[in-house]
Amino acid sequence: MSENRISAAALSLLMAAGIIFTNTSTITAQEKAAPRAAAPAESRTKPVIAKLCTNCHQPQAGSLRGNFDNVAFKSQSIQIRLDDAVEILKFNPDTVKVIDAGKPASAEALRNIKKGHEVRVEYTEAGGIKSATAVTTKPPIKIAAEKLISTEEVEKLVALGPEKGKYTLVDCRPVPRVQEGSIPTSINIPYPAFDKMTDKLPKDKSALLVYYCNGVTCNMSPASSVKAEKLGYTNVKVYREGMPEWLKGHYGVLSAQFLKEAWIDKDVPHVLLDVRPGKAAGQGFIKGAVSLPAGDLAANLAKFPSRDLKPPIMVYDQTGGADAKNAAKTLIAAGYNKVSIVTGGFEAWKVAAFPVETGAPSANIAYTPKPRPGELSIEEFRKIASNTPADVLILDVRNIDEAGAGMIKGARNVPDEDLLNRLAELPKDKMIVAHCSTGVRAEMAYHKLKEKGYQVKFLNAKIDIDKDGNYQIERL
């Protein structure tokens, strides 16, 4: 078989999954003897700091600043995300320093760091392998108590509105975050653009000015408040808990333009509800909308996606009025915490001259989260495991003792911690499908192999395998 040739049987199976795909339970003599091309050099320099972190920090040698993604104690590895890039680092549980919320902690604290939390990782590098020497989580920003404003106080202001409440509420986050939804009545002055947008601030420098951003560890609202005070504003407050806390019990808002550009045009998974009467929806609706009149919503909550999936839900009525607000409140009371109203409703969509769909809108409420890069669906993994094509290798990256208790027929075991030292055992003319026991180490293996030029996918799910190779898969 030539290096780039894939059989017709495998091609048809893999095209059904939208991918191109490897198998072999043992290393053949031919594979051992065949010369392998050297792993391709990295074509671009990986970032060492996430873009959002550059608002307050500069790149430093031997240091990464990004978002915590995963930890695997069995392979002693952590995964850090830097925007679209990923770094996998080894760590020694006995020697790694962990500073969690400003306090020294043991390596066990790595298990409790939430996915997405901002971290700084100091590391050393030898033989192309990075090893973490210290992991520091970003602690809550310290702000003087008299400068803080509570969720309840912000709620009262929003209910009054800027004119009656005599306030200006400022969202300091960058536009991509604001496109996901913001607190009602707020204006957007991204912290990085503060100096260029001071004309949006109130002329009365004694008026209440409230800043918020992305939570207690985000420094953009405190930093913006300092800038405002330097301009002479005397009544400046910070809603430190920001958007994450607000969404736990309140709806956000987004414009028709943001709905179109950030969600519909980019095909980002979401649920869009048209809560107008069915007759109105039948005369024209927004692309992808599900028709569910506001009065019928409570009786149909069982039809919604699981709350555990955290689906972003956008709601619109004719004008962004009572129907949309009541529907949003019903969803929030039911436990959904990513709910936003489209400002101005369907009328705003039409005024913007955005496309209007005709015919019968869908009545099926569906949401499928966007898969992680390289993720293979459970259904497609089952197909491959039951009848592995000749061009596919199932790679079991669990530890030897785990694999010894049972493996999928035809799979090959290379523990994740040994992977980079055993690349010569893996074919480059086949699609590699990696799995572990939970998906964490499999995803790490995916990134390592992808960087070395392999065709690779991974199973992001819990899988239990018995001694006969029978398996049970559970979506996490």
Residues of the chain with CATH 2.40.50.320: 51-137
Q: Which fold has domain 8-35+373-474?
A: Oxidized Rhodanese; domain 1 (3.40.250)
- Please tell me the predicted confidence (pLDDT) of residue 33: 36
**Quick one: CATH architecture of 51-137?**
Beta Barrel (2.40)
Give CA–CA dist 321/252, Å, rounded.
Answer: 14
- Please tell me the predicted confidence (pLDDT) of residue 128: 87
- Please tell me the predicted confidence (pLDDT) of residue 90: 97
- Please tell me the predicted confidence (pLDDT) of residue 413: 98
CB 269 within 8 A of CB 370: yes
Give CA–CA dist 37/307, Å, rounded.
Answer: 47
Extract the residue ranges of the chain whose pLDDT is less than 70.
1-44
Our CA angle for 309, 315, 320, nearest 5°, is: 155
- Please tell me the predicted confidence (pLDDT) of residue 44: 59
Complete edge-to-edge strand list for the sheet that includes strand 236-239: 187-188, 167-171, 208-212, 236-239
- Please tell me the predicted confidence (pLDDT) of residue 427: 96
CATH dotted code for 269-351? 3.40.250.10
- Please tell me the predicted confidence (pLDDT) of residue 54: 87
Give CA–CA dist 200/188, Å, rounded.
Answer: 9
Main-chain dihedrals φ then ψ at residue 474, nearest 5 degrees:
-130, 130
- Please tell me the predicted confidence (pLDDT) of residue 15: 40
Closest residue by Cα to residue 321 from 276, 351, 356, 355:
276
Q: Which CATH superfamily is domain 145-246 in?
A: Rhodanese-like domain (3.40.250.10)
Q: pTM score, two decimals?
A: 0.81
Residues of the chain with CATH 3.40.250.10: 8-35+373-474, 145-246, 269-351
